[in-house]
């Protein structure tokens, strides 16, 4: 993320980064480290502690010709900004009849599993995806994190980038140097297979990979990493469903009206003749995200994914 921000601020003078503790401290997850020194306090702005104010002023910055990249310190602290997102950010282009662009990027640490106090582990993607006028991306690898953030910053529409906290520190890989853009709206086949598809995004992709390895003796498992939840790469989803005929969706957010429900609905509408069994979901439960001593029971686990896959294979 840090590399992407350095490259994009260098590339385009109208890009600025703003948020709580992004300047002097370099962000609580260090995503903005070094930007203030390199680009100055006007382009890496420590803001007052006010999420709605951050996104609300970003709307005005867009009107003044800037491309703001707003950091929300944690996903579960971002809810005050939903007011601005729903009432203005997703609607302003539309209400100007396309006359004005609002190329704002909203990025935040996302998801659970990091053994933190209450409200540091939510998975709020559905709120964002459900908001018209807004795009949403969730990377699952460091290279995609860089590429999707670059695409978000360059996109003419508002884009929310949810960055899985588990991946900040849990995954290491080489990231392409310099400009690297992963287009929005394209899924990635993270693993090829022929018997069953696991559909996942964010930190659940790595979980799916471990589950697929566990099933290696029983089935050839394909993994589709959604990457961009909106716009969704429907083609990739349907192609994999057509190939394997069996789909298990893995999502760490609560179950009801979660993103998995949307994926399942699309499969029901458009892939019914390709399916050899019901679309199954492995999700978090419809409860507040638990304290960390019992969070493992809440999060989709390898066992739960393997169990669902076996049920479907035996259907």
Partner 1 sequence: MAQVFPAERELRRVIGAGHSVPDRALEGVGERELLELYRSLVLLRTYDERSVVYHRQGRIGTYAIFWNHEAMQAGAVHALEEQDWIFPSYRESAIGLLRGMPASTVLSWWRGHPAGWWNPADYNVASICVPIGTHVPHAAGLAWGKRLAGEDAVAIAFFGDGATSEGSFHEGANFAAVMRAPLILFCNNNQWAISTPLDAQTRAETLADKAVGYGMPGVRVDGLDVLAVYEATREAVARARAGDGPTFIEAVHYRAAPHATADDPRVYIDLERVEEERQRECVGRYERYLRRLGVLSDEQAEQIRGEAAETMRRGIAQAEAEPAADVALLFEHAYADGRVAFASELAELRRLTGGTEAVEPDEGPEVQV
- Count of positions on this chain that bind partner 1 (CB under 8 A): 41
Give least dist CB 108 to partner 1, A: 18
From the CB of 96, what's the least distance to partner 1, in Å? 5
Helix and strand numbers (H, E) in the chain are 13, 12
Q: Which stretch binds partner 1 (CB under 8 A): 3-11, 87-95, 164-172, 243-251?
A: 87-95
| Range in contact with partner 1 (rule: CB under 8 A) among 118-126, 152-160, 161-169, 211-219 | 152-160
DSSP assigned state of 264: H
Instruction: Phi first, then psi: give them for residue 43, nearest 5 degrees.
Output: -115, 0
Least distance (Å) between residue 204 CB and partner 1: 26
Which residue out of 6, 88, 120, 130 is catalytically annotated? 120
Instruction: For residue 268, state whether it binds partner 1 (rule: CB under 8 A).
Output: no
30 near partner 1, judged by CB under 8 A: no
Do residues 218 and 310 lie in contact, with contact meaning Cβ atoms separated by under 8 Å? yes
Q: How far apart are CA 119 and CA 172, in angstroms?
A: 26
Quick one: which of 2, 73, 78, 84 contacts partner 1 (CB under 8 A)?
84
- The sign of the torsion formed by the CA atoms of 298, 303, 308, 309 equals positive
Q: Which stretch binds partner 1 (CB under 8 A): 31-39, 155-163, 209-217, 242-250?
A: 155-163
157 binds partner 1 (CB under 8 A): yes
120 in catalytic set: yes
Phi, psi values for residue 124, rounded to 5°: -95, 25
**Is residue 92 within the footprint of partner 1 (CB under 8 A)?**
yes
Beta-carbon contacts of 212 under 8 Å, excluding residues fewer than 6 positions away, are 191, 193, 198, 221, 223
DSSP string of 20-75, one letter each residue: TTSSSS--TTSTTTTHHHHH-TTTEEEPPS-HHHHHHHHHHHHHTT-EEEEEPSSG
| Shortest distance in whole angstroms from residue 148 CB to partner 1 | 17
How far, in Å, CA of 306 to CA of 313, rounded? 10
Residue 231 as a binder of partner 1 (CB under 8 A): the answer is yes
Euclidean distance between CA atoms 101 and 134, whole angstroms: 12
Site string for partner 1, 34-53 (x = CB under 8 A): --------x----xx-x-xx
Residue 171: CB minimum distance to partner 1, A: 31
Question: Which residues of this chain interact with partner 1, rule CB under 8 A?
Answer: 16, 42, 47-48, 50, 52-53, 55-66, 80, 83-84, 87-88, 92-101, 132-133, 135, 155-157, 231
Q: Which residues are catalytic?
A: 120
């Amino acid at each position: 993320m840090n590399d992407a921000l350095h490259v994009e601020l260098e590339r385009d003078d109208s890009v600025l980064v703003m948020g709580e503790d992004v300047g002097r401290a370099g962000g609580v997850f260090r995503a903005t480290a070094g930007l203030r020194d390199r680009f100055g306090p006007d382009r890496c702005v420590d803001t007052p502690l006010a999420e709605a104010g951050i996104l609300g002023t970003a709307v005005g910055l867009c009107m003044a010709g800037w491309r703001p990249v707003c950091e929300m310190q944690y996903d579960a602290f971002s809810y005050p900004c939903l007011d601005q997102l729903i009432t203005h950010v997703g609607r302003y282009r539309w209400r100007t009849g396309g006359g004005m662009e609002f190329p704002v990027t909203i990025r935040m640490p996302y998801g659970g599993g990091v053994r933190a106090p209450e409200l540091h582990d939510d998975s709020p993607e559905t709120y964002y995806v459900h908001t018209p006028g807004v795009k949403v991306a969730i990377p699952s690898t460091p290279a995609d994190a860089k590429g999707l953030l670059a695409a978000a910053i360059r996109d003419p529409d508002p884009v929310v980038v949810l960055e899985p906290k588990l991946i900040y520190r849990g995954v290491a890989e080489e990231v392409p140097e310099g400009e690297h853009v992963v287009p929005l709206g394209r899924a990635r086949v993270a693993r090829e297979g022929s018997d069953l598809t696991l559909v996942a995004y964010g930190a659940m992709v790595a979980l799916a990979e471990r589950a697929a390895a566990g099933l290696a003796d029983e089935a050839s498992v394909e993994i589709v990493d959604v990457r961009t939840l909106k716009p969704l790469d429907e083609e990739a989803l349907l192609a994999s469903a057509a190939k394997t005929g069996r789909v298990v969706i893995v999502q760490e957010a609560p179950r009801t009206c979660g993103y998995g429900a949307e994926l399942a609905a699309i499969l029901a509408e458009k892939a019914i003749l390709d399916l050899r069994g019901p679309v199954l979901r492995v999700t978090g439960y419809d409860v507040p995200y638990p304290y960390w001593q019992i969070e493992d029971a809440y999060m989709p686990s390898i066992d739960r994914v393997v169990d669902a896959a076996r049920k479907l294979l035996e259907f």
